[in-house]
Every structure is written in C-alpha cells, then in structure tokens.
Amino acid sequence: MPTCTEPAWLNRWWLSHRLLILLAGLFAVFPFVLPYTALANEIMLFALAAVAFDLCLGYGGVMMFCQASFFGVAVYATALTLLHLTSNLFAAIAMGVLAASLLALVVGFLATQRSGSYSVLLTLAFAEMIYFIAFQWSGLTGGDNGLTGIKRPNLEIPGLFSVSLQSSLAYYFFSFVFFIAAFYTIRRITLSPFGKVLMAVRENEQRAQAIGYDTRRYKMAVFVIGGFFMGLAGSLYCMYICFAHIHYVHFEVSGNIVMMVLTGGMGTLFGPVIGAFIIVLASDVASALWDRWMLIMGAMFVFFVLFARGGLWGLFEKLMRVRLRNR
C-alpha cells in the first residue's frame, strides 16, 4: 500500500513539468530581483530565441548562422506594421512571426539543398544579404538610423476590455505568457514522434533516409519552426524596445544566440535559458566596465569549445551524477 496520498496523475504531471514550473517561477521573480525590468525582459526574449535555436541545433542537428535574420526581420515587420498598418497588438506579432517564418522557409529550402559545412555557409551568405538589403533599403528600414516612433499597443479587444502595457512590468508579464507557452510548445515538439525523427536525423542522416524518412523535409521543418519562434522573440522584442535597428539583423546577434546555446548546453532546452541569462547579464555589466569586453566573449567561445562542450547544464548534470554515485 503506497503511503502517497496524492493522485498518481498529479505526481506524474509534477515529475514531467517540475523544471518548467521552476523556470516559470524564476522568470516571475526576475523583474523584482534584477536591477531593472528592461534587463529581465531582454534576458527572457533572448532566452526564447536561444531555446528556439537549440531546437534546431541540439535536436535537429541543423546549424545555421542566420538567427539574426529571422529575429531582425520580425523586428522590422512588427515595427512597420505598427507604423503603417494597424496598432493592433496581435496583428503586429502575427506579421513579425509570419515574415520570419516565410524567410526561414526560403532560406531553409535553399540551405538544405546542400549538407554539412556548405549548408552553414549558405545560411551565412543569406544572412549577409539580408543585412545589406536592410542597410541599403533605407526608405523602408531607416537604414543606419533605424525606425523610431513605434508606439507599444495595449492589450485590448475593442468593446470588451483593455489592459495597458505601457509600463515595462506589465509588458514583461505579457511577454512572459508567450515565453512560457513557446517554451512548453518547443519542449513538446522535442518529446513528440516528430522530435524523435529529428534526433534520428541528427544522429545519422543516412540511416534515417534508409528507414524512409525524407530528411530534407524534416530539416526544412526545423528551419521554419526555429524561424517561427525566433520571429516571435523578435516581434516581442520590437515592442519592448519600441525601436527597429539594423543591428538586429547583424551577424553579431546570431553569434550571441549561438554563444548562449553553447554556454548553456545544446540539446537541453533549459541550458540555453541559463546561457541567455549569463550572456545578456555579462554583456550588460561588462560593456559598462570595459569597452573591449567582446575580447572576453571571443575567448569564451574558444574555452567552451575546448573544455566545456556540454555547456553549464552539462557540467551541472555531470556534477549531479557524481554526487548520486557517491551517495
């Protein structure tokens, strides 16, 4: 007779969701413990982008260097929607996500025609193309000056209700809902049969083909899903910062997102969140202290590649395993 009084389903639910709940709990208190809310928001939105990229890299084995394109195109699309079309919050998000997903479809289609390093190079070349287009087409994107005068809309359904999102705390919790929902969805994708096929493709593409999977279509799907969520991050980011700038499609943003996944630990989903926390916080602190802090960033890349491939999450897991063994 088990002594446990709680129903079994609750126990199971707790076991499979405890990390997610922990994550939600942590992010719920972040704006109150971090020096300012904007920092918490920045961490959360980059964590979303990093987790989306972890789905691509850690599960699908798809490496790319155009994260900034998906993120930045969503920033521009949201900004342009708000400036020229409508002030509807959800329309703006939808436009951003749609633009990013469409771009991901095109880039994914072209990049998956090749494999390995060639494919990575293609994503990079397209990222450069997007950057220069955004730079030169200043009539649309504002070029180096960026797009200003974006007003953050309120959460409202006309005639029913309206919630102001103008305070940064209110907006933080608005994007918090999206973040947790997106994280949950991405986690479900990795646990689904589709996710298992992705991992099979990552482990051995030829064998997955031999079983009969059209691996190229799976990789394209990874691009689109990744682009979708990076686009979501970009859209929310645009309305948080009320500004669209060429910097967000620059290669450096891609590099940062890759760095978050690498420091956190790829293929873990929770790791990249830690990575985003560390990178955003570190760049915020370090950039105030020392202009050349990127030097440390570069050295960190080399360090993690050489000595800590599993990232911090991997180190943490290793530590736990050692403790369990010694017990």
Partner 1 sequence: MTDLIIAQAFNGLVLGMIYVLLAMGLSIVWGMMDIINFAHGLFFAIGAYLAFTVASWSGSFLVCLLAVPLATALIGMLLEVTLLRRLYGQNILYQILMTYGIAIAGRELIIMIYGPVGKSFDQPELLTGVIPIAGIFFPIYRVFVFGLTALLTFGMWFVIEKTRWGSIIRAGTENLKMVSCLGINISRVFTLTFGVAMAIAGLSGVLAAPMRGIEPFMGDLILGICFATVVIGGMGSFAGAVAGGLIVGLSQSMVTLVMPSASVIIIFMVMAAILLIRPRGLMGIRD
Does the footprint of partner 1 cover residue 105 (CB under 8 A)? no
Q: Which amino acid is at 32?
A: F
User: Can you tell me the distance from the alpha carbon of 306 to that of 327, in angstroms, rounded to the nearest whole number?
Assistant: 30
User: Can you tell me the distance from the alpha carbon of 74 to that of 99, in angstroms, rounded to the nearest whole number?
Assistant: 6
All residues at 6 or more sequence positions from 325 whose CB lies less than 8 Å from its CB, including other chains: none
Does the footprint of partner 1 cover residue 276 (CB under 8 A)? no
Taking CB under 8 A as the binding criterion, the range among 118-126, 186-194, 278-286, 311-319 that sits at the site for partner 1 is: 118-126
Does the footprint of partner 1 cover residue 110 (CB under 8 A)? yes
Taking CB under 8 A as the binding criterion, the range among 166-174, 175-183, 274-282, 291-299 that sits at the site for partner 1 is: 291-299
**Closest separation in Å from C-beta 262 to partner 1:** 6
Residues 5-34 that bind partner 1 (CB under 8 A): none
- The residue within the footprint of partner 1, chosen from 113, 145, 162, 192 (CB under 8 A), is 113
User: Can you tell me the distance from the alpha carbon of 166 to that of 155, in angstroms, rounded to the nearest whole number?
Assistant: 10
Does the footprint of partner 1 cover residue 251 (CB under 8 A)? yes
The vertex-255 CA angle with 38 and 231, nearest 5°, equals 60
- The residue within the footprint of partner 1, chosen from 124, 170, 242, 278 (CB under 8 A), is 124
- The residue within the footprint of partner 1, chosen from 7, 116, 158, 193 (CB under 8 A), is 116
Does the footprint of partner 1 cover residue 314 (CB under 8 A)? no
Taking CB under 8 A as the binding criterion, the range among 13-21, 46-54, 88-96, 302-310 that sits at the site for partner 1 is: 302-310
Give DSSP secondary structure letters for 272-301: HHHHHHHHHHHHHHHHHH-TTTHHHHHHHH
- The residue within the footprint of partner 1, chosen from 22, 133, 169, 285 (CB under 8 A), is 133
Size of the site for partner 1 (CB under 8 A): 38
- The residue within the footprint of partner 1, chosen from 1, 160, 302, 324 (CB under 8 A), is 302
How many CA atoms lie within 13 Å of 249's alpha carbon, on the beta-carbon side?
A: 29
Residue nearer to partner 1 on the CB measure, 90 or 118: 118
Number of Cβ within 10 Å of residue 44's Cβ equals: 26
Size of the chain in residues: 327
Site string for partner 1, 50-89 (x = CB under 8 A): -------x-----x-x------------------------
Give DSSP secondary structure letters for 16-80: HHHHHHHHHHHHHHHHHHSS-HHHHHHHHHHHHHHHHHHIIIIIT----S-HHHHHHHHHHHHHH
Number of Cβ within 10 Å of residue 138's Cβ equals: 13
Q: What is the phi/psi pair of residue 143, to 5°?
A: 55, -130
Cβ contact 256:47 at 8 Å: no
Residue nearer to partner 1 on the CB measure, 31 or 61: 61
Task: Give the binding site for partner 1 (CB under 8 A).
Answer: 57, 63, 65, 110, 113-118, 120-122, 124-126, 128-129, 132-133, 136, 251, 255, 258, 262, 292, 294-295, 297-302, 304-306, 309
